[in-house]
Chains A and B, each alone.
Chain A
Amino acid sequence: AQKVTQAQTEISVVEKEDVTLDCVYETRDTTYYLFWYKQPPSGELVFLIRRNSFDEQNEISGRYSWNFQKSTSSFNFTITASQVVDSAVYFCALSVPYSGAGSYQLTFGKGTKLSVIP
C-alpha cells in the first residue's frame, strides 16, 4: 500500500521569507511518480511538478524548487521569497503503475496550508 505524509498541517510565514513544505512517502514499488499540487481558495487543484523515481535531480522553477531524496523517501518543496499569492493548500501525491491495471491512481497527503502574511 502507498502512503504520503505531510506532517505540517499549517504554516505561516511573513512575506519574502523562504518556506519548505515537507513530504514523505511510502511505497514498495521501484517505479513511481511524485507530484505537488497547489489548491488556492477557489478550490481547483493546480499541477506544479511531476518527478519519476529514476530521476533524483533537484528542480528549480522560478521561486519554486524541489528536493527529491530516495534515501529518505522525501520530496520537499521550497518557496523562495514567498508572496501573498502563494497562500494556498499544497498537496503532495504519489502514483504507482499498478501491474495489469495501469491506472496510475494518485495517493494524496492531507495537505499543508500555507499562509503568507503581508
Chain B
Amino acid sequence: DGGITQSPKYLFRKEGQNVTLSCEQNLNHDAMYWYRQDPGQGLRLIYYSQIVNDFQKGDIAEGYSVSREKKESFPLTVTSAQKNPTAFYLCASRRGSRQETQYFGPGTRLLVL
C-alpha cells in the first residue's frame, strides 16, 4: 500500500540528547514537510523540502535539523537546543503539482524524560 510512515510512534528523549524521527513515503511525492502540534493548537511548520538535497526553514525551525538525501525520506532531528520538545510531530508529503494536497503520516509523540 502506498502511504507515509513515521517511526517510532512514541519517542523518549533525555536531557541533552539528540533524537531523530523517521518519515518515509512511497507515493513518489516531491515535497515533504514536518509539523509540530501542541495540545489545543494547530499545526506549525518546522521544515519543508521541495526536492532532494534542498530544504527550507518553516516558522519554528530553531532547535531542529533535517536532511533530504532521498526522495522517499525526510528525517527530522530534534537537537538538545530545542528546550521544549514535548509535542506531536507530523510528517506530510505533496506531489509536485502546485495544486496538490498535503497528505499526512500517523505522527510521532515525543516525550522528555
Contacts and interface: CB of A to CB of B under 8 A. Distances in A.
B106 A110 contact: no
Nearest to A113: B40
Nearest to A102: B98
Interface stretch (A12-20, A43-51, A57-65, A68-76): A43-51
Contacts of B45: 105-106
A43 B50 contact: no
Interface residues of B, number: 27
> What's the dominant secondary structure at chain B's contact region?
strand
Contacts of A105: 33, 45, 48, 58
Contacts of A42: 106
B43 interface: yes
Interface string B85-113: 00010101010001111111111010000
A60 to B, nearest CB: 19
> What's the dominant secondary structure at chain A's contact region?
loop
Contacts of B76: none
Given A43-B106, A43-B107, A45-B104, A91 B56 contact: no
A44 B107 contact: yes
Contact of B42 (A35, A43, A46, A109): A109
Interface of B: 31, 33, 40-45, 48, 50, 56, 58, 88, 90, 92, 94, 98-107, 109
8 contacts: A42-B106, A43-B109, A44-B90, A52-B99, A102-B98, A105-B58, A106-B45, A110-B40
Leading 4 A-B pairs by shortest Cβ distance: A108-B42, A45-B104, A43-B107, A44-B106
